[in-house]
Amino acid sequence: MDFVAIGDTTVDEFIKLKDAQIHCDINHEDCTISMKWGDKIPYDSSELVPGVGNAANAAVAAARLGVSAGFVSNVGNDRFGKEILATFAREGVDTSTIAVHNDIPTNHHYVLWYQAERTILIRHEAYPYRLPEGFAAPKWIYLSSIGDHSEAFHDALVSWLGEHPETKLAFQPGTFQMEMGKEKLATLYAATAFFACNKEEAERILGLGETDIPALLKAMHALGPKTVLITDGPNGAYASDGTEMLKIPMYPDPKEPLDRTGAGDAMTATVVAALALGKSLREALLWGPVNSMAVVQEIGAQKGLLTREKLEQYLANAPADYAVTPL
């Protein structure tokens, strides 16, 4: 196996709102959404999307790009769990390492979708996190969002990685992993070959205020990761392998984005999948924004994910200024 994702999976229930108000600060940042209190609020539509979540999205992204992909996770023995397993099977993701629980339900998140943005109501069930018996070492492990009771699992994973130097770790932290703090996860950061997050998350992890990208890349390297990727929305993405700092712009949207859910997952997973296929960092950085662009043209985090053939078509038709440049 070339790529095994580890993390929680869920069913996302998209609720498209008709009437809401968005309030932002003077810089059009730190926005909040508001609706009438104690009222009946009409919505436009709803859609259930099974088998999503940061690591789940990464596994599907890798599989569609032709990388042999598996997934270590947990589901309940319920309707939603069965739908998730069927979804991964259709995508060609190995489900043999997904544990099915009779006494714990499947994670179920609610996505309040308004215009092109979304607010997600999340709940991570208290699954027992562990690597499966006889877990075969892949080329890459892609670790992302799992629940807030998983500290012991992270320690166990670091120990396992120490015994399997042939496996590289990609780490895209989720909400609870960021809340755990860099001190508790110090050994995990030190074992990470490829780290990714967005600019605001990097500042939060490092305990910094507004900080420029070069300083953030250097500070993240200081925690231990060999290669660091930081995305910055419409400004593009930035990466450093400790030797050089690079920038890649966004791939231009063919039309206005429909839903931004999963854009960051697509970016990071595609870069790691390209590395797993033997691409250089510069080549891999060209791949990431293409898949990110495609995802935001559809509802949900996976529908727009590209095959390798389609992604390479977009690269062949990329504008002249779509290039990796030194930062």
What mean pLDDT comes out for the span 73-86?
97
> What is the structure's pLDDT at 130?
92
Instruction: Write the pLDDT tens digit of every residue in 87-98.
Output: 999 999 999 999
Give the start-to-end residue ranges of the domains of the chain: 3-9+52-106+131-326
> What is the structure's pLDDT at 99?
97
CB 301 within 8 A of CB 262: yes
Instruction: Write the pLDDT tens digit of every residue in 289-319.
Output: 999 999 999 877 899 999 999 999 999 999 9
Q: Which CATH superfamily is domain 3-9+52-106+131-326 in?
A: Ribokinase (3.40.1190.20)
Taking the C-alpha atoms of residue 78 and residue 161, their distance in angstroms, rounded to an integer, is: 33
Instruction: Write the pLDDT tens digit of every residue in 31-65.
Output: 999 988 999 989 999 989 899 999 999 999 999 99
| Helix intervals (H) in 278-321 | 281-295, 308-316
> What is the structure's pLDDT at 282?
97
Query: Among 151-155, 170-174, 255-259, which is the least confidently predicted range?
Result: 255-259
> Could you tell me which of 129, 68, 72, 76 has the C-alpha nearest to residue 95?
72
Taking the C-alpha atoms of residue 282 and residue 285, their distance in angstroms, rounded to an integer, is: 5
> What is the structure's pLDDT at 116?
73
> What is the structure's pLDDT at 229?
98
> What is the structure's pLDDT at 186?
97
What mean pLDDT comes out for the span 245-262?
87
What mean pLDDT comes out for the span 225-238?
95
- Report pTM: 0.90
pLDDT for 30 beyond 90: no
What mean pLDDT comes out for the span 106-132?
89
DSSP character at residue 72: E
Query: Among 125-134, 240-249, 254-263, 281-290, which is the least confidently predicted range?
Result: 254-263
Query: Among 253-267, 278-292, 297-311, which is the least confidently predicted range?
Result: 253-267
Q: Classify 68 as helix, strand or coil.
A: coil
% of the chain exceeding 90 in pLDDT: 81
Count the neighbouring beta carbons within 10 Å of the beta carbon of residue 153: 18
pLDDT for 251 beyond 80: yes
- When the pLDDT of each residue in the chain is averaged and rounded to a whole number, the result is 94
- What torsion, rounded to 10 degrees, do the Cα atoms 109, 154, 192, 99 define? -60
> What is the structure's pLDDT at 195?
98
pLDDT for 85 beyond 90: yes
User: Whose structure tokens read 């599907």?
Assistant: 60
> What is the structure's pLDDT at 100?
97
CB 59 within 8 A of CB 84: no
- What torsion, rounded to 10 degrees, do the Cα atoms 182, 183, 189, 191 define? -170
Q: Which residues, in sequence order, are CB contacts of 31 under 8 Å at separation 6+?
A: 22, 23, 24, 25, 117
